[in-house]
Amino acid sequence: RVSLTLSALDRTFKASGPTPAELYPPQTGYGAALPISFPGWDVLERQSNSNGMDERRARTAVTSPWVYSDISAIANEAASAELIVKERKGTKLVDVENHELERLWESPNPHMGRSYVVAFWMWSYVLASKSYLFWMPSKSAETGWELWPIPPFMITPLPDTQAFIGGYGFKSSPSAKSLIISPEYITFSHSVNLFDIRDGLSFLVAAMLGIETDLAAAMWNRNFFKESNGIPDGFISVPRDTLDPDLERVRAEIRAFFGGTRRGVAIARGGDLKYESWGRSQK
């Protein structure tokens, strides 16, 4: 079960501690900036987003059977979780029956159910280390909202020195014009990234070498058993002075007799043919 605690929407939060001006008295130089506006944070390069490296890694990773099965297991486990909304009353948490968020979670949008949206959310997080949910106002929906997942490679957080994240840039394709979405409509989940605090660091950065090694081994094994893989099991030799027409006739007769998989007994004059096994081991 997933427990979510919500404060009443009509409450106003009142800080009882010191004001920001008291915490951060006027200073000079870089010290005058709050931590979220450290120099450089608004111009950090997201190379993985700009050149599609994360997406290419993800497309390669999902072709690995163990990666696919592991992420499927995580996503299915999350999709089966029950959402429960609680409200804090004094020192206790009380269940809120039939909360609108619970109803929305059960039917996120007209085309997707809860299990699909949660699974998509988890696939995005585990594979790309960041996931996005778009809360879209809807007059036709019972709760007044629809909930949609956004592919993580189509959207990126936009840094802001005051608001930390000023919005999100959405592009349906690399050539499309960027659409700016206000931050209040996006739920952004991401892993820790020491190189960009506003973005997630893909887990595939560490796993990719193992994944590519596994895929290369699987491809080698497939080619080993593939027909006409260019590596014969053995070699049949004929006398050195055999003419080309006779050599072609011998090849044709051997192929016709043995075929691709037949086993039989070859009959020839002593010393005419010599077979040498190349000892290839499937193991």
Which residue type sits at 41?
Answer: W
Phi, psi of 46 (to 5 degrees): -100, 85
In 3D space, the residue among 223, 242, 239 whose CA is nearest the CA of residue 231 turns out to be 223
Q: Which residue has the higher pLDDT, 141 or 77?
A: 77
Which residue type sits at 182?
Answer: S
Burial of 147-165, coded b for 16+ CB within 10 Å and e otherwise, reads: bebbebbbbbbbbbeeebe
The total of other beta-carbon atoms located within 10 Å of residue 25's CB is: 8
**Contact between residue 158 and residue 165 where contact means Cβ atoms under 8 Å apart:** yes
Burial of 170-196, coded b for 16+ CB within 10 Å and e otherwise, reads: beeeeeeeeeebebeebebebeebeeb
**Dist. CA 122–CA 189, nearest whole Å:** 10
In 3D space, the residue among 170, 167, 179 whose CA is nearest the CA of residue 150 turns out to be 170
> Per-residue pLDDT for 159 more than 90?
no
**Dist. CA 175–CA 130, nearest whole Å:** 22
Determine the Cα angle at 80 with ends 77 and 86, to 5°.
Answer: 115
> Per-residue pLDDT for 30 more than 70?
no
Q: Which of 4-13, 196-205, 262-271 has the highest mean pLDDT?
A: 196-205
Q: Which of 15-19, 206-210, 235-239, 262-266 has the highest mean pLDDT?
A: 206-210
Q: Which helix (H) or strand (E) holds 131?
A: strand 130-137
**Binning pLDDT at 50, 70 and 90, where does residue 180 land?**
very high
**Dist. CA 41–CA 164, nearest whole Å:** 9
Of 28-32, 81-85, 247-251, 253-257, the range with the lowest mean pLDDT is 28-32
What does the mean pLDDT of the chain come to?
79
* pLDDT tens string 246-262: 888 888 887 777 765 56
Q: Which residue has the higher pLDDT, 239 or 182?
A: 182
Determine the Cα angle at 43 with ends 39 and 45, to 5°.
Answer: 130
Helix and strand element counts for the chain (H, E): 8, 11
